[in-house]
């Protein structure tokens, strides 16, 4: 886990053993009176008779407290087999799980704890089993392996992740759920799996906004997002999110922000983002898209004026003859495909097509239909005598000889430049 709470496997195991021992000793030992605190007063609780089902469970607890885990496990097996419908059945499964922990068969104990959690949700043993699983998850996350052929050679980190996630789902908003949430986030951070760590810390801040560990989670989330940024040529989502989180952290914890130098970190983030835009602008220059490059240079100057990249952008704009600050806001979509080299002299405005030349000749009038008595040997006469056709032109190109229907051009567009026909009174010469 993180440095402030870093512990070795031996310490976790000793803490788990102490937790189980305390839980066992808290229960009634055969022949002894147990007292519980009720409304500020210690009240004596009934003691199970020796030899009764409750008394047998008390004897099994005593074996666990004495370190006889193997005997306790076999005794719990016999008890569960004989009393499968007894009201103390969830207690028996919990005791058998504790016996397996005493034997250091941690993974086997999860079966009993999980059975209590799933099948006896409303019992008193539900929260006790949840706590036991949390301690085992800490042990697995610290590096304790599972047994295989009597040797601990199977990693159990996947089990640790699954247990911590289940605890949060089963106990949302509780202290145990909060501890599981921050433990899982720290585990991802130390592994390191920065994408998962950023997501886990973000969920922690959402689910536990008033937690005492909020400042720690915010700092770790910022560090995880910074670590996700792999350079100006890659995705900058993590870097942008880190900048936003730093501003929030400075607003909530101004003294701590001053101590860690949040202002300097924000400047470094701006430098990286500005360099990313500069690299993109250079790519557009190589692609002969100067307008897009100009837009990016101007954006660097406007968005990151305190960076060294902004000074480089100013020099590039001056070399291209473009204004440092655009007179009009350029739309990136409008300049993303400028491919003409001449556009570098018109960088301040988008490329526009030149207007068509005005038509000086009179508009084309519809040609009268060819009379039915026209000579049949004319090679290009239309078979439809009623169709409006273009007069035949000798030695014209093939595409100009195709019959087309003449329509009045729209008012907003000039009429297309076409070969003007001869006056209608002049008949084409016979070949």
- Please give the pLDDT value at position 77: 94
CA gap 385, 369 in Å, rounded: 6
- Span 320-325, average pLDDT: 86
3-class secondary-structure state, position 44: strand
Instruction: Say whether pLDDT at 338 is over 70.
Output: no
Same domain, 288 and 143: no
Instruction: Give the residue numbers spanning the domain of 64.
Output: 3-32+45-170
- Please give the structure tokens belonging to residue 155: 């990693």
Q: Which of 190, 131, 139, 132 is nearest to 160 (CA)?
A: 139
Pick the more confident residue, 177 or 37.
Answer: 177
Instruction: Say whether pLDDT at 222 is over 80.
Output: yes
- Please give the pLDDT value at position 164: 95
Q: What percent of the chain has pLDDT over 70?
A: 64
In a domain, 67, yes or no: yes
Q: How many domains does the chain have?
A: 2
| Residues 6 or more apart whose Cβ sits within 8 Å of residue 117 | 126, 129, 130, 133, 170
Instruction: Say whether pLDDT at 342 is over 50.
Output: no
Q: How confident is the model at residue 15 (pLDDT cuts 50, 70, 90)?
A: low
pTM of the predicted protein model: 0.64
Q: How confident is the model at residue 47 (pLDDT cuts 50, 70, 90)?
A: low
In a domain, 58, yes or no: yes
CA-CA-CA-CA torsion sign (194, 199, 202, 207): negative
Most confident of 24-33, 279-288, 343-352: 279-288
In a domain, 165, yes or no: yes
Instruction: Say whether pLDDT at 166 is over 50.
Output: yes
In a domain, 251, yes or no: no
Q: Do residues 405 and 367 touch, judged by C-beta distance below 8 A? A: no
Same domain, 289 and 166: no
Q: Tell which of 170, 191, 209 closes a domain.
A: 170
Q: Do residues 58 and 42 touch, judged by C-beta distance below 8 A? A: no
- What are 259-314's pLDDT values in tens digits? 999 999 999 999 999 999 999 999 999 999 989 999 999 999 998 988 898 899 99
Q: Tell which of 346, 372, 388 closes a domain.
A: 346
């Amino acid at each position: 886990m993180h440095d402030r709470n870093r512990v070795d496997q031996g310490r976790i195991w000793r803490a788990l053993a102490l937790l189980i021992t305390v839980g066992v000793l808290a229960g009634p030992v055969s022949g002894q009176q147990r007292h519980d605190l009720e409304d500020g007063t210690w009240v004596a609780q009934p003691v199970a008779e020796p030899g009764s089902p409750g008394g047998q469970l008390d004897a099994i607890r005593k074996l666990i407290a004495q370190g006889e885990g193997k005997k306790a496990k076999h005794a719990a097996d016999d008890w569960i087999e004989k009393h499968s419908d007894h009201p103390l059945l969830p207690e028996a499964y919990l005791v058998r799980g504790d016996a397996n922990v005493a034997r250091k068969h941690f993974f086997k104990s999860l079966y009993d704890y999980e059975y209590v959690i799933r099948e006896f949700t409303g019992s008193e043993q539900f929260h006790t089993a949840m706590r036991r699983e949390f301690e085992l998850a800490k042990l697995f996350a610290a590096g304790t392996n599972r047994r295989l052929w009597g040797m601990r050679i199977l990693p159990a980190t996947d089990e640790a992740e699954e247990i911590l996630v289940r605890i949060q789902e089963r106990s949302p908003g509780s202290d145990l759920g909060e501890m599981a949430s921050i433990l899982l986030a720290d585990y991802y951070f130390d592994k390191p799996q920065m994408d998962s760590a950023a997501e886990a810390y973000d969920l922690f801040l959402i689910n536990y906004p008033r937690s005492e560990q909020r400042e720690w989670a915010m700092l770790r989330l910022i560090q995880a997002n910074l670590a996700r940024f792999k350079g100006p040529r890659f995705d900058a989502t993590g870097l942008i999110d880190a900048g936003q989180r730093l501003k929030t952290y400075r607003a909530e914890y101004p003294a701590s922000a001053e101590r860690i130098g949040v202002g300097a970190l924000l400047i470094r983030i701006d430098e990286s983002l500005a360099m990313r835009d500069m690299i993109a602008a250079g790519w557009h220059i190589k692609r002969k898209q100067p307008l897009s490059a100009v837009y990016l240079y101007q954006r660097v100057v406007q968005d990151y004026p305190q960076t060294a990249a902004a000074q480089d952008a100013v020099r590039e704009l001056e070399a291209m003859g473009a204004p440092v600050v655009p007179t009009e806001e350029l739309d990136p979509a409008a300049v993303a495909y400028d491919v003409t080299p001449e556009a570098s002299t018109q960088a301040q405005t988008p490329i526009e097509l030149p207007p068509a030349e005005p038509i000086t000749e009179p508009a084309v009038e519809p040609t009268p239909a060819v009379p039915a008595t026209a000579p049949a040997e004319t090679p290009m006469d239309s078979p439809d005598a009623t169709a409006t056709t273009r007069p035949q032109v000798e030695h014209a190109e093939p595409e100009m000889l195709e019959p087309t229907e003449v329509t009045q051009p729209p008012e907003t567009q000039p009429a297309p430049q076409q070969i003007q026909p001869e006056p209608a009174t002049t008949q084409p010469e016979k070949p």
